Amino acid sequence: MSDENAATNREAVNPRNGDGGADAVVLTGAEIVCECLLHEGVDIVFGYPGGAILPTYDALTKYPQLHHVLTRHEQGASHMADGYARATGKVGVAMATSGPGATNLVTGIATAMMDSSPIVCITGQVPTGAIGSDAFQETDVTGITLPITKHNYLVTSIDELPEVMREAFHIARTGRPGPVLVDIPKDVQIQEAEFVYPTEPIQLAGYSPPKTARARQVAAALELIRDSKRPIILAGHGISMAGANRELAQLAEKAQIPIALTLLGKGAISEHHPLCLGMMGMHGGAEVNHAIQQADLLIALGMRFDDRVTGNLATYARDSRKIHVDIDPSEINKNVTVDVGIVGDLGEVLRQLLDRVERRPNEAWFDRIAEWRADSELREIVRPAEAPQHPAVPEGKLLGAQVIRDLFEFTAGGAITVTDVGQHQMWEAQYYQHERPHSLITSGGLGTMGFGLPAAIGAKMSRPDQEVWAIVGDGGFQMTMMELATAVQERVNVHIAIINNGFLGMVRQWQEFFYEERYNQTPMVNPDFCKLAEAYGIPTVRVTERGQIEEAVNASRAQTAGPTLIDFVVEKEEIVFPMVPAGADLDDMIRRPTPAEFEQQRRGRAVAAKAPEPQTPESTPPESKPSESEEPAAAAALGSRFGV
Q: Which positions are catalytic?
A: 74, 136-137, 186, 506
Q: What whole-number percentage of the chain has pLDDT above 70?
A: 91
According to CATH, the topology of domain 215-374 is: Rossmann fold (3.40.50)
**Residue 7 pLDDT:** 39
β-strands 321-326, 564-569 pairing:
unpaired
For residue 42, give the DSSP letter: -
Q: Are 146 and 152 in contact (CB under 8 A)?
A: yes
| Nearest-angstrom CA–CA distance, 569 and 503 | 11
| Nearest-angstrom CA–CA distance, 507 and 640 | 15
| Nearest-angstrom CA–CA distance, 312 and 290 | 14
Residue 137, by phi and psi: left (phi above 0), alpha (psi -120 to 50) or beta?
left
Give 259-293 pLDDT, tens digit per residue.
999 999 999 999 999 999 999 999 999 999 999 99
Helix/strand/coil for 232: strand
* One fold for 3-195 and 386-569: yes
Q: What whole-number percentage of the chain has pLDDT above 90?
A: 85
Q: Is the pLDDT of residue 616 over 60?
A: no
| Nearest-angstrom CA–CA distance, 618 and 598 | 34
| Nearest-angstrom CA–CA distance, 440 and 429 | 9
**Residue 570 pLDDT:** 98
According to CATH, the topology of domain 386-569 is: Rossmann fold (3.40.50)
The domains of the chain are located at: 3-195, 215-374, 386-569
| Nearest-angstrom CA–CA distance, 324 and 338 | 7
- Burial (Cβ within 10 Å: 0-12, 13-18, ≥19) of residue 536: middle
pLDDT band for position 392 (50/70/90)? confident
| Nearest-angstrom CA–CA distance, 472 and 424 | 7
pLDDT band for position 614 (50/70/90)? low
Q: Are 64 and 90 in contact (CB under 8 A)?
A: no
- Residue 384 CB neighbours (<10 A): 10
**Residue 264 pLDDT:** 98
Q: Are 372 and 289 in contact (CB under 8 A)?
A: no
| Nearest-angstrom CA–CA distance, 601 and 607 | 10
List CB contacts of 246: < 8 A, sequence separation 6 or more: none
For residue 47, give the DSSP letter: E
Give 89-145 pLDDT, tens digit per residue.
999 999 999 999 999 999 999 999 999 999 999 999 999 999 999 999 999 999 999
**Residue 274 pLDDT:** 97
Q: Is the pLDDT of residue 643 over 80?
A: no
Q: Is the pLDDT of residue 618 over 70?
A: no
N residues, the chain: 644
CA angle 286, 432, 380 (to 5 degrees): 40
Give me the DSSP letters along 309-324.
HHSSGGGTTTT-EEEE
- Residue 624 CB neighbours (<10 A): 6
Q: Are 123 and 165 in contact (CB under 8 A)?
A: no
| Nearest-angstrom CA–CA distance, 636 and 631 | 11
According to CATH, the topology of domain 3-195 is: Rossmann fold (3.40.50)
Q: Are 54 and 79 in contact (CB under 8 A)?
A: no
Where is 93: in which H helix or E strand? strand 92-96
pLDDT band for position 24 (50/70/90)? confident
